[in-house]
């Protein structure tokens, strides 16, 4: 039977992808909580939805099956017991306890499943549920905060909470509190959605793993090589454990290349500074390398004993890519052409964050015209999507998509 999850490269023809259409969670952003919720501005909801619909249609026009997080989650919660269990878990993870917990649970469960899922994503404002008598000082102070359940405006970056590798996936422990609950949706989908539940899908790292990892750092370079960013969001320990777990069960995967990148907001994940666009072509933001073009790269391979890895240190990205991919030459296409202004400007709006839908065919934001032109000059087919509002969340087409299945190369 066909595996429901199957990704053996970054560039094999994309067959099925998971998206999330931004919803009311985006309208629960206010200036006071922007930083905490990892946004730099407040998107205009009708426009961000229009842009997202255009992105989804662009993929469908190329024959790609687009699945939506809300639909899968609604279908996964197919019994009353599952609905209740999910609500209990989300309240726990949202730090809602005490007297208000039951009231909020009853409120959420009063909606049909689709509305309930949307409401949980959008957040629950205190004004939505009648105030109880407050007896304690902490309850009075707590009241200054507008939400019982925080909104999850980053959900449209489906890349990060979970990532497909081979026939399995990681369901991620997310680094930032604002995003930590997001991976619970994929956990329910994998375990309870009829499309996935009957398969024995390997979970390479699960969301109870104590160290963080996010999908933006996870790149499947080829059927035997994975690259993972050591970044602001992904810890070295997670990468080593992931490698050990994969080597044990998916024997085709021979190595994990851990690429250290600066830990900053602009470079939050490896895919904000480096993506694969063709067999031998990559986008890169030049600032991840030092002046001599060097950086720290570690190749992890199966160690002599079980549950150990052999680690080799490298410093040259180009040479390492040639070695692990068995290529004579590799082109690194600099974001914004490496220009002192265009490069950081376009990187800020995800100029290096391309979604490959086939070898040499990528989806990018239209606003990054310098990078797009350069990609075309390198023979890449560039399909542009509108991006005024989508880009405000600091993620691009790769961040906004979780490939579930790609054709093998
Ligand atoms: N893979 C990615 O780079 N995803 C973008 C995530 C943006 C989101 N506002 C965040 O800070 O997590």
**Residue reference for tokens 């600099």:** 334
Beta strands 361-365 and 381-385 are: parallel
Question: Measured between alpha carbons, how far is 258 from 218 in angstroms, rounded to an integer?
Answer: 10
The number of folded domains in the chain is 1
- Calculate mean pLDDT across residues 152-164: 98
pLDDT at 141 over 90: no
Cβ atoms 328, 322 nearer than 8 A:
yes
User: Which spans in 123-168 are helix H?
Assistant: 137-142
Mean pLDDT of the chain: 95
Q: Report pLDDT for 132.
A: 65
Q: Report pLDDT for 144.
A: 76
Residue 333 falls inside a structural domain: yes
Confidence of residue 143 (pLDDT cuts 50, 70, 90): low
- Calculate mean pLDDT across residues 365-380: 98
- Calculate mean pLDDT across residues 111-125: 98
Confidence of residue 290 (pLDDT cuts 50, 70, 90): confident
- Calculate mean pLDDT across residues 13-24: 98
CA 149 vs CA 35, 96, 374: distances in Å = 17, 8, 44
Q: What is the pTM of this model?
A: 0.96
The CATH number assigned to the domain holding 385 equals: 3.75.10.10
Residue 204 falls inside a structural domain: yes
Residue 45 falls inside a structural domain: no
- Return the best residue to mutate from 25, 150, 212, 399 for the ligand 1 pocket (most ligand atoms within 8 A of CB): 399
Cα of 11 from ligand 1 centre, angstroms:
21
Residue 72 falls inside a structural domain: no
pLDDT digits 0-9 by tens, 187-226 = 999 999 999 999 999 999 999 999 999 999 999 999 999 9
- Calculate mean pLDDT across residues 291-313: 94
- Report CA 250 to chain centroid distance, whole Å: 22
Residue 197 falls inside a structural domain: yes
Confidence of residue 136 (pLDDT cuts 50, 70, 90): confident
**Residue reference for tokens 């726990």:** 92
- Return the best residue to mutate from 159, 265, 268, 349 for the ligand 1 pocket (most ligand atoms within 8 A of CB): 268
Residue 210 falls inside a structural domain: yes
Ligand 1 is surrounded, with C-beta below 6 A, by 38, 154, 157, 159-160, 179, 216, 268-269, 271-272, 393-395, 399
- Dihedral class, residue 177 (left if φ above 0, else alpha if ψ from -120 to 50, else beta): alpha
Residue 390 falls inside a structural domain: yes
Residue 230 falls inside a structural domain: yes
- Calculate mean pLDDT across residues 349-376: 97
pLDDT at 133 over 80: no
Catalogue the active-site residues: 399
Structure tokens of 130?
């009648």
Percentage of the chain beyond pLDDT 70 is 98
Give the residue numbers spanning the domain of 214. Answer: 59-65+154-406
């Amino acid at each position: 039977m066909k595996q429901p999850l199957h990704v053996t490269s970054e560039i094999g023809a994309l067959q099925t992808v998971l998206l999330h259409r931004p919803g009311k969670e985006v309208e629960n952003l206010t200036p006071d909580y922007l930083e905490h919720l990892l946004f730099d501005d407040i998107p205009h909801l009708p426009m961000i939805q229009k842009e997202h619909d255009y992105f989804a249609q662009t993929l469908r026009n190329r024959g790609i099956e687009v699945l939506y997080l809300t639909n899968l989650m609604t279908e996964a919660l197919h019994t009353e017991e599952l609905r209740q269990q999910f609500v209990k878990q989300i309240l726990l993870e949202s730090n809602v306890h005490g007297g208000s917990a039951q009231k909020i649970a009853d409120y959420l469960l009063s909606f049909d499943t689709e509305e309930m899922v949307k409401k949980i994503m959008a957040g629950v404002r205190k004004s939505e549920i009648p105030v109880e008598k407050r007896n304690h000082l902490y309850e009075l102070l707590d009241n200054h905060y507008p939400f019982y359940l925080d909104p999850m405006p980053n959900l449209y970056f489906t890349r990060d909470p979970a990532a497909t590798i081979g026939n399995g996936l990681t369901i991620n422990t997310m680094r930032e509190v604002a995003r930590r609950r997001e991976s619970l949706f994929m956990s329910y989908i994998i375990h309870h959605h009829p499309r996935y539940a009957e398969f024995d899908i390997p979970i390479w790292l699960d969301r109870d793993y104590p160290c963080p990892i996010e999908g933006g750092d996870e790149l499947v370079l080829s059927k035997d090589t994975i690259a993972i960013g050591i970044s602001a969001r992904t810890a070295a320990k997670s990468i080593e454990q992931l490698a050990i777990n994969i080597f044990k069960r998916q024997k085709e995967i021979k190595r994990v290349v851990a690429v250290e990148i600066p830990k900053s907001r602009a470079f939050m994940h490896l895919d904000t500074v480096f993506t694969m666009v063709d067999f031998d072509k990559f986008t890169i933001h030049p600032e991840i390398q030092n002046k001599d073009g060097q950086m720290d790269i570690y190749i992890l391979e199966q160690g002599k004993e079980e549950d150990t890895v052999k680690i080799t240190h490298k410093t040259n990205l180009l040479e390492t890519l040639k070695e692990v991919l068995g290529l004579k030459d590799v082109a690194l296409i600099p974001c914004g052409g490496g220009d002192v202004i265009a490069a950081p400007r376009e990187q800020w709006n995800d100029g290096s964050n391309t979604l490959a839908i086939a070898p040499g065919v990528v989806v990018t934001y239209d606003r990054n015209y310098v990078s797009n032109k350069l990609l075309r000059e390198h023979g890449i087919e560039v399909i542009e999507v509108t991006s005024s509002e989508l880009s405000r969340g600091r993620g691009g087409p790769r961040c906004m998509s979780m490939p579930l299945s790609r054709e093998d190369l």
